[in-house]
Every structure is written in structure tokens, then in C-alpha cells.
């Protein structure tokens, strides 16, 4: 479904991503690990469209999306969350979700002035969908709170919830477990499994290898812009190259 | 248009560009460290020009009355005045806004610009002033006319710029300043050193604006809108040259100066500021990072 | 006293139209527009010049709004690609360029001398009735603008604007293009300013380029900061405070003999400058309204 073909991303003359090739099947849960600076987030930037490719292609569901801007890629079903949550602080959690949902027909000046009944009906429908997503991500209690009042972990869940409003086929999650209370990690894992159960492929960048091991069906390890291992988590973690890359850290 | 006419415009443009380079450099230094465009730069130039013209008027007829000496003393006074105002503005306003959004500092700098200009007009009035300098006829090289005063202006600007660049490159504090500009995390240095560095930065910005104002005042007339009218060309120069690049600011200023002058036969002298705006607009749309700038800072 | 209050009321309402538009651009959407006076000027000149050619006023008003809205398009496009501070500078440059054009193109705009003898709105009624009619028309215009703005803010479009203001990068990652919305907001705000300009021209009956300096833009900025950014009521309250200040300064001049008008202008400039600095330092919620910052 998602094919990353020999992608390179350069900053000035520095190759942050150096010839990465990766395939993600429709039902996959792929973990991406690697030390800091390995190029993981940069790779996401390239796939999602925030960063231009120096070379290579990104193919999604058979279409070459390499030159599409991020919003068009998202519309095709390729969603992305960010390491640092980007919540709409002054909006309620519910409104964060409603603003995130595709709603072209009613998000216009004309609709604001002359199409209020239809917009209201659409908003009610969005509210229903939002409540469903809130239940899935465990944020129902915070529904009417301003997003700025959420805890760090809750903001990350909101990131995920917003991405879900677009009915994506694949979500790129950038360090969803970072900075989360260890107690909540199990909860987040359940949420991710529930999301996956809806038929959404997940690609997850994570430093927390324990969490990835419990959850990912496949593990890709990057180092210095290249993929150095790609396979089942157990096998990959035993790989000497991976252990060397982590320099004797607990793998 | 004859070659001589083009050459005249180009030379005039180079001189103007040299003058624009000073506030453009001040803007780019403050921008790369304090991360906001200091809209008060223009009116600091005006302040410098007024201080200088006032001091020079006081000195006329005294021991320091001779034009060169008088101008030197007047310029020094302007530099000191503007450096003080600039550092004071940093201490009282911009440092306190440190963590606030950029628009806060920008609005405050606009407020400061208004404040400076209004205080000048309240104290001294709206009339125009000129520096008491001997009128020297332009030298004529077969159609190419060069005013000796323009040469002096260009030379002074070049010297000042060279001195600042040398300091940035070789001076200890200068290199530290560059390092901080390149790497904002370094800004979290130990308290005293960081403070001293910031004072140095703002004093330098004030000094550059002062000299720019004096040179501009010598070239044309000293009036309340003097600096404000140069603000947009200076911004354009900074952006054209590239954010974070002092050399870029100077090159941008020279290009802006020449470009503005060369456009005069096409659009007339009063539209120069429109040319600055046009250049600004086009550069930002096509290449937000400018000629020598770093793209990461552009968006 | 009566006539004076009616006149001041009209000025308040004209500024209110400007403030509503600017507040929508900055308060709601986060667009830093330092060139608002340009649309005010374009509206004033468009309506005045067309009216002097014999066009009926309702039409000239409509065209004024349209011209201002169209003029906002290049700025809207710029807003898409520029970071906030650059947009601010570009919009400032735009307004100064507009003023320059008005000053230079004497053939069309009468240049520095300005345009005198603009037909007064409802002039046919004569005397006091004219002034009252202008006031009522402005009241209606402001009410309509406020209503339209309120509907906009309460709509999904408004919600999206606030989302763009809060975190534009997230919007693109969610499949939406902030571009369309920003341009529309720019145009709507500009149209309101254009209408304000038309009212202004046919109220004061004489316009010249020097009435449309950046200071006016920052008067409006002061209003929305005073009243609270992002708040419709704030726009109205802030405008009242602004005009109170502007008129008050005139009274002071009457009380203190020997102060020339030109000095008063400097004093006003000084106070606006000081006010901007002080508000930014000590009343940031004025700058950021209800936004968590």
C-alpha cells in the first residue's frame, strides 16, 4: 500500500535520509527505531510531504505522491502525527476533532452565511463521529475542555484522534509513547491495537523498544539515514549491526 | 539612455546602497539573535541624524568647527546617543518580551519608532535641517559625475562595514555573537556573559543606525521621516541578501540601491520605495531564504 | 453638542468597521496585517472618484468594497507563503506603496492636493438630517458587519480559522489547505475596510493621501488590543476607547493654549507609540485575547 522507493532527503549537502526503501502492507504495524539523528522523523517528513525529496519516490495505493503537498497526501488517506503535539489550543477537544474532519462543503463563507442549517446538520454528524473516536482513544471525558488544558499524554492521544477523523488508511505516528507516563503506556497500546483493528496500517517511530516489541509485527532500524535491519522484532533486535548501532545500550 | 547616465545612476545607487547597508546590517543582526524585525531601526537613524546635526550646529564657530572634525564629533555623539537608546530599549522592552510571541516585539518596535519620531518633532519641530558642509562641485569624468561628498559617504560606510565584519570574524565578542546567531541554543549562556553580549548587540545595532542616519542626512536632508522611509528598503535588503547573513544584508543593500536608482528613469524618483516593496515581494515569493540565507529560517 | 456627538458617533462607527475586519484577520486567523489603511484608502478614493463622475452612491460603495477585496488578493497570496513577521512588513510596504500611488498619479487621484467636493452621503436631506442619516446608515452597516462576522465566527469556517491561528502546520497535515481560508479572510476584512473608506469619503467630503498613513493602521491595532483581540465586542469597545482618546486629545488642545495642531499630532503619535509598548508589555491578553499563550 505504501512504498518508499530509494528515498533521499538532503539538508544543504547533508543526507539525512540516504536511499531508504520500505514497503508497508495494508494491515501492517511497522515500528521504526534508531538512535537520535538516524533520520526517522526526516523520513516521515518525506513520506508525509513536509520535506522535499532529493531523489526517490513515494507511492501510495499505486499513485506516485512524491510531488503532492502534505494536505493532498492526507486527503488520500495518509495521515501523520507529530512528535510534539500540535493541538488547537483554544478549541475544545470536540472542536479539535470537528476542525480536523473533512468538511469542505460547509467550511466556506457562503455556508457560514447562507447554509447554516446544512452546516449544523453536518456538525451534528461530525459530533457523532467525534464521540466515537473519543471513546476509542479514551478522551471522552475531556470532550468539552480546551485542548490547551490537556496533559502531554492526552495531547498525544488528541493528535491520534484528529488523524482518525480523516478516515485514514495509514497513519504515521511520530514517537507516540514519548513522554508518556509508563502507567499509561499499556493504555496507549490498547488504543493503537483498537485503531489497527479498524483496518488502519500503522507506522510508528519509537525509541521505547519494549513498547515496540510488544506491539509491532515488523521492526525497521535506521542508522545515519539508512535502513540497517528490517524484519521480525525479535530477529532484528538480535542483529549484531543493530546492537552495534545502539552502542551496547540495552536493546 | 547614455552610458554615462546609467553609470551615474549606478554610482548614486552604490552610494545609497552603502548607506542602506548599515541599517540592513543592524536589522539582520538583531533579527538573527532576537528573532524579530526591529521596526524602530529607521527612526533610530533619524535620531542619529538629528543628534549629529544638532551637535554640529553647536560646534560651528568653535574650535571643533572645521567640517571634518565637527562631523566626526557629531557622528560620535549620534553613535553614543543611539547606542544608549537602543540598549535601553532592549533592557526596558525587548528583553522582557523575550518569551512572548514575535508579534509582540514587532508591535513594540513600531511603538518605539513612533515614540522616537514624535519626541524628535516635539522637541525640535518638523523643519528640515542640513549639515553645515562646504558645497563642493561634482567631479566630472566625461559625463560621469561624482560628488566628493558621496565618495566620503561611501568610504565611511565601507570602513564601518569592514570594521564590523572584521570584528564579527576575528573579535572575541564578535565571534561569540555570530555563534549565538547561528545557534540559538547557545543563547542560554551563563547570565553575565549573555547579558553583556546582548548589550553589545543592541549597542552595535544602534551605532550602525546612527551612522546610517548621519550619512543619509549628509546625502539628503534631515527630516522626521528620514529613517522611516529607509525602513522598507533596509528590510528588503536584509531579506534579499538572506536572513542570518550579514554579508547578504550588505550585498542586498547594494543591489537594492542600484536597482532603485536604475528604476528611476522608468518609474520616477518618488516610486523608489515602491521598487523596494516590489523587490521584497518578489524575493519572498520566489526564494524566501534570499541570496545567501539559510532556508530553515525562512518559514 | 448634538451635532458634535453625531459626528463623533459616525467616526466611532467608521473605525468600528475597520476594527471588525482587522480583528477577524489577526484575532481569528492570526494574520498580521500592518497595511489595513490601504484598503481604507482604496475604498475612499474609489467611491469618491466614481461619485464625482456621477455614479450613484450605493453602486460606488459596492465597487469600493469590491476594489478593496480584490486588492487584498495579492496580499492573501503572500500570506500563504510568508512567515508572520514578513507578512507584517510586506503589508506595511503595500500600504505605503498605495499611498505613494495615490500621491503620484495626479491625473486620476489629484495627487497631494486631494479630492475635494465629494458628494456628502444623504446630502439631499440637508443640515442636521444629513448627519443623522449618515449616522444611522453607519449604524446599520456596523450592525450588518458585526452580524456577518458573528455568524462567520460561529460557523465551521470560523472554527477552522481559529485552528489555523492556533496551529497552521497541523491543518495541512490534516488534509486542508489554509490558503483558501486565509485569502477569503483577507478579502472580507479588506472589503469591510473599503466600505469604511467609502463612508469616510462621503462623510468628510475631502480626502488626500496624507490621511491614509500607517498611523491609522496602528490606531486600529490599538483598538483591537485595547478591546481584546479575537473578540467582536472587543472590537467595538476598543474603538470607543480609541475615539475617546483621539477626541480627548483635541479637547486638551482647546484647554491648553499655545499648543499648535501639529504639535498635538506629535503628542498623539507619542501616546500611540507608548500605548503600543505598554500594552504589549503589560496587557498581553489584549494582544492575544482569550487565546492560551
Domain spans of chain C, in order of start: 2-211
> Would you call B102 and C270 a contact, using CB atoms and an 8 Å cutoff?
no
What is chain B's percent helix, strand, coil content, to nearest 5? 75, 5, 20
| Dist. CA A110–CA A100, nearest whole Å | 20
Contact between residue B227 and residue B209 where contact means Cβ atoms under 8 Å apart? yes
Instruction: Specify the pLDDT at position C122.
Output: 84
Does C165 score more than 80 pLDDT?
A: yes
Report the share of chain C in percent with pLDDT over 70: 95
- Residue B159 sits at the vertex; the CA angle it makes with B154 and B160, to the nearest 5 degrees, is 100
* CATH number, span A2-87+166-245: 3.40.50.300
Best interface-test mutation with A: which of C174, C177, C292 has the largest number of A CBs within 10 A? C174
Q: What's the sign of the alpha-carbon dihedral C37, C40, C43, C48?
A: negative
In chain B, domain spans? 3-297
Cβ neighbours of C74 in B, within 8 Å: 281
pLDDT of residue C293: 38
Contact yes or no for B116/B38 (Cβ under 8 A):
no
Contact map slice: B 78-107 vs C, CB within 8 A: 93, 96-97, 100-107
- CB A102 to CB C158 under 8 A? no
Q: Choose, out of B107, B287, B298, the residue to mutate when testing the contact with C (most C CBs < 10 Å).
A: B107
pLDDT in tens, C178-193: 888 999 999 999 999 9
pLDDT score at C67: 96
> A247 falls in which pLDDT band (50, 70, 90)?
low
Chain C residue whose CA is closest to B232: C93
Per-residue pLDDT, averaged over C235-241, amounts to 90
How many angstroms separate the CA atoms of A88 and A95, rounded? Answer: 9
List the helix and strand counts (H, then E) for chain C: 13, 0
CB contact under 8 A, B232 and C92: yes
Q: Please give the helix or strand (H or E) that residue B85 lies within, else none.
A: helix B67-89
What φ, ψ does residue A10 adopt, rounded to 5°? -120, 145
Task: Please list every residue in chain C whose beta carbon sits closer than 8 Å to the beta carbon of residue A81.
Answer: 173
Q: Which among A87, A102, A112 has CB closest to C158?
A: A112
Task: Report the predicted TM-score, pTM, of the whole model to 2 decimal places.
Answer: 0.88
Name the minimum distance, in Å, from the CA of C291 to any CA of chain A: 6
Give the pLDDT band (50/70/90) at residue A223: confident
Name, of A47-51, C80-84, C146-150, the range with top average pLDDT.
C146-150
Partner residue facing C175 (CB), from A87, A95, A102: A102
Q: Inform me whether the pLDDT recorded for C288 exceeds 70.
A: no
Task: Enumerate the β-bridge partners of residue A91.
Answer: none
Transcribe B210-258 into DSSP letters. Answer: HHHHHHHHHHS-B-TTHHHHHHHHHHHHHHHH-TT-HHHHHHHHHHHHH
How crowded is residue B134: how many other Cβ atoms within 10 Å of its Cβ? Answer: 7
* Contact in structure between C75 and C186 (CB atoms under 8 Å): yes
Cβ-contact A229, A220 below 8 angstroms: yes
The answer, for B122 touching chain C at a CB cutoff of 8 Å, is yes
A neighbour chains, 3+ CB pairs within 8 Å: C
Q: Which of B234, B252, B260 is nearest to B289 (CA)?
A: B252
Residue among C174, C177, C291 minimizing CB distance to A162: C174
CA distance A107 to A126: 13
Q: Is the dihedral of CA B228, B230, B232, B235 positive or negative?
A: negative
Is the Cβ pair C152, A112 closer than 8 Å?
yes
> Looking at residue A69, what is its pLDDT?
87
Q: pLDDT for C6-24, tens place per residue? A: 889 999 999 999 999 999 9
Cβ neighbours for A30, distance < 8 A, ≥ 6 positions apart: A22, A24, A201, A202, A203, A204, A216, A217, A218, A219, A220
Q: What share of chain A is helix, strand, coil (3-state, %, to 5)?
A: 45, 25, 30
- How large a percentage of chain C has pLDDT more than 90? 52
Q: Do C157 and A148 touch (CB under 8 A)?
A: no
- Would you say A134 and A194 are in contact if contact means Cβ atoms under 8 Å apart? no
Report chain A's C-alpha Rg in angstroms: 19
Check pLDDT > 90 for residue C147: yes
Is A113–C152 a contact, with Cβ atoms under 8 angstroms apart? yes
The highest-confidence range among B251-265, C85-99, C145-159, by mean pLDDT, is: C145-159
* CA distances in angstroms from A93 to A130, A157, A167, listed in the order given: 9, 11, 18
What confidence score (pLDDT) does residue B184 get? 62
Helix, strand, coil % in chain C, rounded to nearest 5: 80, 0, 15
- pLDDT at residue C120 greater than cutoff 60: yes
pLDDT digits (tens, 9 = 90+) for C53-67: 989 989 999 999 999
ipTM summary value:
0.87
Gap between the Cα atoms of C158 and C156, Å rounded: 5
Closest residue by Cα to residue C44 from C61, C59, C56: C61
Give B 138-197 residues with CB within 8 A of chain C. Answer: none
How far lies A164's CA from each of A175, A211, B11, C178, in Å? 17, 21, 62, 20
**CB-based contact A65:A49 (threshold 8 Å):** yes
Dihedral sign from CA coordinates of A160, A166, A169, A174: negative
Residue ranges in chain B whose pLDDT is less than 50: 299
Instruction: Supply the mean pLDDT for chain A.
Output: 86
Confidence of residue A248 (pLDDT cuts 50, 70, 90): very low
For CA atoms B89, B91, B95, B96, the dihedral sign is negative
To the nearest 10 degrees (0 to 180), the angle between helices B148-170 and B3-34 is 30
Rounded to an integer, the average pLDDT of C82-95 is 88
- For residue B36, give the chain C residue with the closest CA: C85
CATH annotation of B3-297: 1.10.3470
Q: What is the pLDDT of residue B162?
A: 93
Which one of C94, C101, C273 has the shortest CB-CB distance to B112? Answer: C273
- C170 close to A (CB below 8 A): yes
Regarding predicted confidence, which is higher, A165 or A234?
A165
Set of chain B residues whose Cβ sits within 8 Å of the Cβ of C280: 97, 100, 104-105, 107-108, 111
- Categorize the per-residue pLDDT at A180 as very low, low, confident or very high, splitting at 50, 70 and 90: confident
Q: Give the count of beta carbons closer than 10 Å to the beta carbon of residue B4.
A: 14
pLDDT beyond 80 at A173: yes
The CA-CA-CA angle for residues A67, A228, A236, to 5°, reads 120
Q: Which of B24, B102, B114, B293 to probe by mutation at the C interface, max C CB count within 10 Å?
A: B114
Cβ burial of B189 (10 Å; 0-12, 13-18, 19+) is middle
DSSP H or E stretch at residue A78: strand A78-80
> Poorest-confidence range of A56-60, A106-110, A217-221, A231-235?
A231-235
Confidence of residue A213 (pLDDT cuts 50, 70, 90): confident
Q: What is the pLDDT of residue C144?
A: 96
Tens of pLDDT, residues A84-114: 889 999 999 999 999 999 888 898 888 899 9
What does the pLDDT average to over C201-219?
Answer: 93
Residue ranges of chain A assigned to CATH 3.40.50.300? 2-87+166-245
* B106 grid coordinates: 514587532
* pLDDT tens per residue, range B164-220: 999 888 888 888 787 777 766 665 655 556 778 889 999 999 999 999 999 999 988
More confident residue, A162 or B4: A162
Burial zone of C146 (CB within 10 Å; 0-12 exposed, 13-18 middle, 19+ buried): middle
pLDDT at residue B189, rounded to an integer: 58
- Averaged over A220-233, what is the pLDDT? 84
**Cβ-Cβ contacts under 8 Å for C198 (sequence gap 6 or more):** C43, C44, C46, C47, C60, C61, C64, C65
Mutation site for C-interface testing, chosen from A73, A83, A86 by largest number of C Cβ within 10 Å: A86
Grid coordinates of B171:
573579535
**All chains having 3 or more CB pairs closer than 8 angstroms to chain C:** A, B
- Cα distance from B285 to chain C (closest Cα, Å)? 7
Burial class (CB in 10 A: 0-12, 13-18, 19+), B15: buried
Task: Report residue A210 CA to chain centroid gap.
Answer: 19
Check if B282 contacts C (Cβ < 8 Å): no
Q: Which three cell numbers stand for residue A98?
A: 470537528
Q: Which has the closest alpha carbon to B16: B275, B274, B256, B292?
A: B256
Q: What is the mean pLDDT of chain C?
A: 88
CB neighbours of residue B188 within 10 Å:
9
Is there a contact between B217 and B53 (Cβ–Cβ < 8 Å)? yes
CA–CA dist C217, C264 (Å, integer): 19
User: What are C215-230's pLDDT values in tens digits?
Assistant: 999 999 999 988 888 8
Confidence (pLDDT) at C163: 94
C241 pLDDT higher than 50: yes
Q: What is the mean pLDDT of residues A218-241?
A: 83
* Cβ count within 10 A of residue B2: 8
- Residue C199: pLDDT band with limits 50, 70, 90: very high
Amino acid at each position: 500500500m505504501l512504498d518508499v522507493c530509494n528515498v533521499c532527503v538532503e539538508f544543504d549537502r547533508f543526507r539525512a535520509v540516504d536511499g531508504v526503501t520500505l514497503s508497508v502492507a495494508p494491515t501492517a504495524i511497522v515500528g521504526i527505531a534508531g538512535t537520535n539523528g538516524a533520520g526517522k522523523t526526516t523520513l516521515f517528513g518525506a513520506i508525509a510531504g513536509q520535506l522535499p525529496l532529493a531523489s526517490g519516490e513515494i507511492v501510495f495505493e499505486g499513485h506516485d505522491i512524491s510531488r503532492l503537498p502534505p494536505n493532498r497526501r492526507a486527503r488520500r488517506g495518509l495521515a501523520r502525527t507529530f512528535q510534539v503535539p500540535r493541538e488547537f489550543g483554544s478549541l475544545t477537544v470536540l472542536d479539535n476533532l470537528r476542525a480536523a474532519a473533512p468538511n469542505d462543503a460547509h467550511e466556506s463563507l457562503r455556508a457560514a452565511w447562507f447554509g447554516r442549517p446544512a452546516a449544523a446538520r453536518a456538525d451534528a454528524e461530525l459530533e457523532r463521529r467525534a464521540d466515537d473516536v473519543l471513546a476509542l482513544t479514551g478522551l471522552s471525558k475531556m470532550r468539552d475542555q480546551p485542548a490547551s488544558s490537556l496533559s502531554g499524554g492526552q495531547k498525544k492521544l488528541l493528535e491520534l484522534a484528529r488523524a482518525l477523523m480523516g478516515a485514514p488508511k495509514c497513519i504515521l505516528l511520530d514517537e507516540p509513547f514519548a513522554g508518556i507516563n509508563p502507567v499509561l503506556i499499556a493504555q496507549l497500546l490498547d488504543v493503537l491495537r483498537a485503531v489497527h483493528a479498524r483496518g488502519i496500517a500503522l507506522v510508528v517511530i519509537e525509541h521505547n523498544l519494549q513498547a515496540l516489541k510488544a506491539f509491532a509485527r515488523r521492526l525497521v532500524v535506521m542508522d545515519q539515514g539508512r535502513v540497517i535491519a528490517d524484519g521480525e522484532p525479535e530477529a532484528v533486535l538480535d542483529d549484531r549491526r543493530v546492537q552495534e548501532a545502539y552502542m551496547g545500550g540495552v536493546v | 539612455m547614455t552610458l554615462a547616465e546609467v553609470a551615474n545612476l549606478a554610482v548614486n545607487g552604490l552610494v545609497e546602497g552603502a548607506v542602506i547597508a548599515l541599517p540592513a546590517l543592524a536589522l539582520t543582526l538583531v533579527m538573527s539573535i532576537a528573532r524579530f524585525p526591529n521596526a524602530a531601526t529607521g527612526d533610530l537613524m533619524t535620531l542619529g541624524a538629528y543628534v549629529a546635526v544638532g551637535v554640529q550646529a553647536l560646534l560651528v564657530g568653535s574650535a571643533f568647527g572645521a567640517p571634518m572634525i565637527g562631523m566626526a564629533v557629531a557622528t560620535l555623539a549620534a553613535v553614543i546617543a543611539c547606542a544608549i537608546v537602543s540598549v535601553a530599549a532592549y533592557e526596558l522592552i525587548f528583553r522582557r518580551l523575550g518569551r512572548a510571541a514575535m508579534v509582540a516585539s514587532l508591535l513594540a518596535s513600531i511603538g518605539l519608532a513612533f515614540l522616537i519620531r514624535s519626541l524628535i518633532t516635539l522637541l525640535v519641530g518638523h523643519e528640515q535641517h542640513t549639515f553645515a558642509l562646504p558645497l563642493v562641485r561634482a567631479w566630472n569624468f566625461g559625463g560621469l559625475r561624482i560628488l566628493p561628498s558621496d565618495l566620503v559617504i561611501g568610504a565611511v560606510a565601507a570602513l564601518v562595514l569592514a570594521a564590523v565584519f572584521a570584528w564579527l570574524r576575528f573579535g572575541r565578542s564578535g565571534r561569540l555573537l555570530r555563534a549565538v546567531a547561528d545557534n540559538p541554543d547557545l543563547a542560554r549562556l551563563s547570565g553575565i556573559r549573555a547579558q553583556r553580549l546582548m548589550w553589545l548587540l543592541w549597542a552595535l545595532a544602534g551605532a550602525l543606525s546612527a551612522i546610517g542616519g548621519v550619512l543619509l542626512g549628509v546625502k539628503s536632508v534631515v527630516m522626521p521621516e528620514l529613517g522611516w522611509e529607509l525602513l522598507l528598503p533596509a528590510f528588503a535588503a536584509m531579506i534579499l541578501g538572506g536572513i542570518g547573513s550579514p554579508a547578504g544584508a550588505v550585498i542586498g543593500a547594494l543591489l537594492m540601491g542600484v536597482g532603485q536608482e536604475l528604476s528611476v528613469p522608468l518609474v520616477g524618483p518618488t516610486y523608489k520605495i515602491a521598487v523596494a516593496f516590489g523587490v521584497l515581494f518578489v524575493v519572498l515569493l520566489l526564494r524566501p531564504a534570499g541570496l545567501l540565507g539559510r532556508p530553515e529560517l525562512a518559514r | 453638542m448634538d451635532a458634535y456627538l453625531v459626528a463623533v458617533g459616525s467616526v466611532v462607527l467608521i473605525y468600528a468597521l475597520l476594527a471588525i475586519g482587522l480583528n477577524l484577520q489577526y484575532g481569528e486567523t492570526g494574520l498580521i496585517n500592518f497595511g489595513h489603511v490601504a484598503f481604507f484608502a482604496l475604498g475612499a478614493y474609489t467611491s469618491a472618484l466614481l461619485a464625482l463622475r456621477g455614479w450613484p452612491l450605493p453602486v460606488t460603495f459596492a465597487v469600493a468594497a469590491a476594489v478593496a477585496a480584490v486588492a487584498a488578493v495579492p496580499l492573501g497570496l503572500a500570506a500563504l507563503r510568508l512567515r508572520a513577521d514578513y507578512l507584517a512588513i510586506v503589508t506595511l510596504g503595500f500600504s505605503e506603496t498605495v499611498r505613494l500611488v495615490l500621491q503620484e498619479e495626479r491625473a486620476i487621484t489629484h495627487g497631494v492636493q486631494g479630492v475635494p467636493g465629494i458628494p456628502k452621503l444623504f446630502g439631499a436631506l440637508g443640515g442636521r438630517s444629513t448627519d443623522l442619516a449618515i449616522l444611522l446608515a453607519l449604524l446599520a452597516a456596523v450592525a450588518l458587519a458585526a452580524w456577518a462576522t458573528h455568524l462567520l465566527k460561529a460557523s465551521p469556517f470560523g472554527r477552522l480559522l481559529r485552528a489555523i491561528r492556533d496551529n497552521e502546520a497541523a491543518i495541512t497535515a490534516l488534509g486542508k489547505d489554509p490558503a483558501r481560508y486565509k485569502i477569503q479572510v483577507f478579502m472580507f476584512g479588506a472589503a469591510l475596510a473599503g466600505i469604511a473608506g467609502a463612508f469616510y469619503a462621503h462623510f468628510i467630503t475631502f480626502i488626500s493621501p496624507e490621511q491614509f498613513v500607517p498611523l491609522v493602521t496602528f490606531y486600529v491595532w490599538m483598538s483591537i488590543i485595547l478591546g481584546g483581540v479575537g473578540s467582536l465586542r472587543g472590537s467595538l469597545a476598543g474603538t470607543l476607547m480609541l475615539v475617546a482618546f483621539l477626541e480627548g486629545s483635541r479637547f486638551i488642545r482647546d484647554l491648553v493654549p499655545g499648543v499648535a495642531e501639529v504639535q498635538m499630532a506629535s503628542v498623539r503619535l507619542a501616546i500611540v507609540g507608548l500605548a503600543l509598548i505598554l500594552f504589549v508589555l503589560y496587557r498581553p491578553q489584549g494582544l492575544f485575547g482569550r487565546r492560551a499563550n
